[in-house]
């Protein structure tokens, strides 16, 4: 076993658009140490979301490889990738992506149900309490504010005790004050559980609070810097 939770090697992604090839990621290579917090920054359209989706096994690359916990995932079947996601990863999105027909509690239980776990209600309720929404477990997502929905999404992402949390602009749809509460909660949950964080953001102040910043431009990794130079 290496100390890396994630390794990305020479990753490229080409979209076929209107008879043309659009290269949105070109030869991207980096790895992420277990327990660290890393940001991916770059201008809009630079490939951040595409890269995060490939790292999480949500999308297929055109070339290169992705390893999670030393398991190569890019050449697995969709079912196998879903199994890896369920075992090792959590994901939160800018637009929360809760399931609207399920209650808050049911949303949080989904990843555990997918894993076939039993007696999942108590753990899900504890997580909801941790994010301050224990009282809202029987409400539906549309009955909650954006910040509350993102807290449910966080509880859901942590419900299967992931080794790595992928977060795509998690505060992008929230006002500054609510966004800051969500950031604090993400950092707190990560620290408590030792979960690795890979965060996509355009917010440089937020990125500077993680330990390392990977910068993309035009689909290429143009810098990869520690924010704490004396500690690496």
Cα-based torsion angle of the residue sequence 109, 114, 120, 123 in order, rounded to the nearest 10 degrees: -60
On whether the CB atoms of residues 127 and 120 are closer than 8 A, the answer is no
Of the candidate spans 26-34, 40-48, 125-133, 184-192, the one that interacts with ligand ADP by CB under 6 A turns out to be 40-48
Residues 56-95, one symbol each (x = binds ligand ADP by CB under 6 A, - = not), give ----------------------------------------
Task: Return phi, psi of residue 46, to 5°.
Answer: -80, -5
In the region spanning residues 118 to 147, those forming contacts with ligand ADP, defined by CB under 6 A, are none
Q: What is the CA radius of gyration of the chain?
A: 17
Q: Is the dihedral of CA 219, 96, 165, 186 positive or negative?
A: positive
Q: Between residues 1 and 17, which has the closer beta carbon with respect to ligand ADP?
A: 17
Smallest distance from the beta carbon of 172 to ligand ADP, in angstroms?
10
Judged by CB under 6 A, the residue of 42, 57, 90, 141 near ligand ADP is 42
On whether the CB atoms of residues 159 and 109 are closer than 8 A, the answer is yes
What does the alpha-carbon distance between residue 171 and residue 176 come to, in Å, rounded to a whole number?
8
Q: Between residues 56 and 144, which has the closer beta carbon with respect to ligand ADP?
A: 56
CA 76, 77, 81: angle at the middle one, nearest 5? 70
50 binds ligand ADP, rule: CB under 6 A: yes
Question: Among residues 69, 143, 164, 156, which one has the least CA distance to residue 111?
Answer: 156
45 binds ligand ADP, rule: CB under 6 A: yes
On whether the CB atoms of residues 146 and 181 are closer than 8 A, the answer is no
In the region spanning residues 3 to 22, those forming contacts with ligand ADP, defined by CB under 6 A, are 15, 17, 22
Of the candidate spans 41-49, 62-70, 97-105, 222-230, the one that interacts with ligand ADP by CB under 6 A turns out to be 41-49
Judged by CB under 6 A, the residue of 19, 20, 44, 100 near ligand ADP is 44
Smallest distance from the beta carbon of 116 to ligand ADP, in angstroms?
32
What does the alpha-carbon distance between residue 50 and residue 165 come to, in Å, rounded to a whole number?
16
Q: Between residues 111 and 219, which has the closer beta carbon with respect to ligand ADP?
A: 219
> Which residues lie near ligand ADP (CB under 6 A)?
15, 17, 22, 24, 42, 44-50
């Amino acid at each position: 076993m290496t100390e890396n939770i994630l390794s990305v090697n020479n990753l490229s992604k080409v979209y076929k658009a209107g008879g043309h090839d659009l290269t949105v990621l070109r030869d991207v290579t980096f790895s992420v140490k277990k327990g660290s917090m890393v940001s991916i920054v770059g201008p809009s359209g630079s490939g951040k979301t595409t890269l995060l989706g490939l790292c999480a096994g949500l999308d297929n690359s055109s070339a290169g490889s992705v390893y999670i916990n030393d398991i190569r995932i890019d050449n697995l079947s969709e079912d196998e990738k879903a199994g890896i996601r369920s075992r090792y990863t959590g994901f939160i999105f800018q637009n929360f992506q809760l399931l609207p027909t399920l209650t808050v509690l049911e949303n949080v239980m989904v990843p555990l149900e997918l894993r076939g776990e039993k007696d999942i209600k108590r753990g899900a309720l504890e997580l909801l309490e941790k994010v301050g929404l224990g009282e809202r477990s029987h409400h539906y997502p549309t009955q909650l504010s954006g910040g509350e929905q993102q807290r449910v999404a966080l509880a859901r992402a942590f419900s299967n005790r992931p080794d790595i949390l992928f977060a795509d602009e998690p505060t992008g749809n929230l006002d500054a004050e609510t966004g800051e509460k969500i950031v604090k909660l993400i950092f707190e949950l990560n620290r408590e559980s030792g979960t690795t964080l890979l965060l996509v953001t355009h917010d440089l102040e937020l990125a500077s609070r993680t330990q390392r910043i990977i910068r993309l431009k035009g689909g290429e990794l143009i810098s990869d810097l520690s924010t704490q130079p004396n500690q690496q």
